[in-house]
Amino acid sequence: MLPALRDTLDRLPETRWPRLWLTLLCLALWLPGFFTLPPGDRDESRFAQASRQMVDSGDYVRIRLGQEERNKKPAGIYWAQAASVQAVEALGLGHRGEIWPYRLPSLLGAWLAVLATFHWGRVLVGRRAAFLAAALLASSVVLVVETHIAKTDAALLATVAAAMGLLGRAYLAPPTFTAAQAAGFWAVLGVSILLKGPIGPLVALLAGVTLAAADRGAPWLRRLRPLWGLPLMLAVAAPWFVAIGIATEGRFFSESVGGDMLAKVSAGEEAHGGPPGYYLLLFPLTAFPAAFLALRALPAAWRDRLNPGTRFLLAWAAPSWLMFEAVATKLPHYVLPAFPAVMLLGAAWAMDPLRRPAPRWLAALGMGLLVVVAAALGIAAALLPWFADHRPDPVALLALPAAGLLVWGTLAALRRRGIAQAGLAAALLAVPLYAVVLGGVLPRLTAPWIGPRLAELLAEAAPSGEVQGQFGIVGYHEPSLVFATGADTTLLRDGAAAAGFLAGAPGRIVAVSDRDKAAFFAALEQRALAVRSLGTVEGYNYTRGRRLTLHVFQGAT
């Protein structure tokens, strides 16, 4: 390994400006693709479109997607996205039709989570270990992906990391925990409720109950001032909940609690199910490249469970992880609120000069999984343009040496500098791999980005925007299409409905999938309607796993 890199690995945890260096690492890891990746399906486009309609309408209470109410999540993330869009437009940096302004709250939330992990982790595991843990969290695949998606989870992580950091301080040093810190704890949980309902408070509650049971008491609980803290938490969130209850006549609560939350608990919603152990099996990927270090630390963390800092981190991570494993609906990012604790446990073991080595089989498993996941990412990125667009891409081939560099650098640091430096090397060397995949490969694909390409075709047909309210589509109803073409897009049931839409007014435009084309032309013939072709858009609907062709027609004017 180069001497300069060796010196960097040794000095970074002791730097005079740790937050600055962590910020620069976050930017290097997260900015590739942030501005250039088109809007994704389905959640990102749903959130972004609902926030866009909130800005357009000026109604910051009700949440709507197209013409329908979106009674699933509270308004916190929509407010944050609306504010970021308005700020971007006020500064002249972009406009509400672009996706990246809606991603800014995710980027900011992830950054705050990393800084919170370092700030409060210093009390739990020490400065050097907290720096390493924050770097590992920043480089984890799941958080890198979440920074590129305009939805709740990265922002939620910021509130969880801050609240749990404050709870950890109350647990370790109750006499010095101030009323202002207690107020911060409850206020942050209130913000967490506005972002994603009960998830943040549940993480804190499970940790508190676990600690109280393990310690046979909770002397720290009084220092949290729950008598006025709980009302403060509710007061932060209550005004909007009251307003949305009135505005929707109670529909928000029946649909969000009964139709969304309980459905996820009892059944795999939208086919997102998985067996118990799902998150453990995915951990080598979601925590990549840090998983090899975190896995080695598990036996030592359990042996050290009587240490107050370790005890708190185990109480943070373990019950929350089990809760997410028990829920029927499973998505890789659900377990993200436990990641700061997992990274702090791993970093504490790695930085301990008296640490007991991990079992050989566990160390070999961790390194083997690092190699396998790096190779899988590199090979998948290299082959993706061929499978998606049926073309080779020289840029995509760079993913293979980038993955090889990460593995080589991590192994070299492990042999020569130790496990802690290997973890930091992995975090730093993840930068070129993510840059290739997120900044070079995915934005250059064409097949998955059907909505933006269709919007470009419509812009050529109606450059002044008169297509708004006059465009319908059958066979492709993904949210990214609505974000790209506008909330007035009419989603049609079948080919006959598309013909009827054209007959409704002269000059209307429809897009018809290849599956509905025959029925569309049959209906045109019955109605004696004349149309002209504006072109076709071919692509791959990755949410349904099939290719499709959209034929675009305009009725006679």
Rg (alpha carbons) of the chain, rounded to whole number: 25
Domain boundaries, the chain: 41-351, 368-444, 450-555
Task: Check residue 31 and report its DSSP letter.
Answer: S
Q: What proportions of the chain, in percent to the nearest 5, are helix, strand and coil? A: 70, 5, 25
Averaged pLDDT for residues 183-210: 97
The tens digit of pLDDT for each residue in 238-283 reads 999 999 999 988 889 888 776 556 555 655 455 466 888 999 999 9
CA–CA distance from 40 to each of 44, 151, 158, 284 (Å)?
6, 11, 23, 24
Contact yes or no for 34/107 (Cβ under 8 A): yes
pLDDT for 258 equals 61
Closest CA to 325 of 291, 296, 283, 372: 283
Q: Report CA dihedral (471, 474, 476, 479) to the nearest 10 degrees.
A: 50
Contact yes or no for 345/352 (Cβ under 8 A): no
Helix H, strand E, coil C: the string for 59-92 is: CCCCCEECCEECCCCCCHHHHHHHHHHHHHHHCC
Closest CA to 146 of 317, 333, 339: 333
Closest CA to 316 of 337, 286, 287: 337
Q: Which residues pair with 513 in a beta bridge?
A: 550
The tens digit of pLDDT for each residue in 337-392 reads 999 999 999 999 999 988 899 999 999 999 999 999 999 999 999 999 999 999 99
CA–CA distance from 301 to each of 130, 139, 538 (Å)?
15, 22, 52
pLDDT for 469 equals 66
User: What whole-number distance in Å separates Cα of residue 310 and Cα of residue 342?
Assistant: 10
Closest CA to 157 of 115, 125, 121, 124: 115
User: What whole-number distance in Å separates Cα of residue 211 and Cα of residue 205?
Assistant: 10
Per-residue DSSP letters for 468-499? TTSEEEES---HHHHHHH-TT-EE-SSHHHHH
DSSP, collapsed to helix, strand or coil, labels residue 149 as coil
pLDDT for 263 equals 55
Closest CA to 290 of 148, 90, 132, 502: 132
The tens digit of pLDDT for each residue in 300-319 reads 999 999 999 999 999 999 99
The tens digit of pLDDT for each residue in 131-172 reads 999 999 999 999 999 999 999 999 999 999 999 999 999 999
pLDDT for 71 equals 85
Contact yes or no for 330/324 (Cβ under 8 A): yes
Contact yes or no for 123/169 (Cβ under 8 A): yes
- 491: region left, alpha or beta (phi > 0 left; psi from -120 to 50 alpha): beta
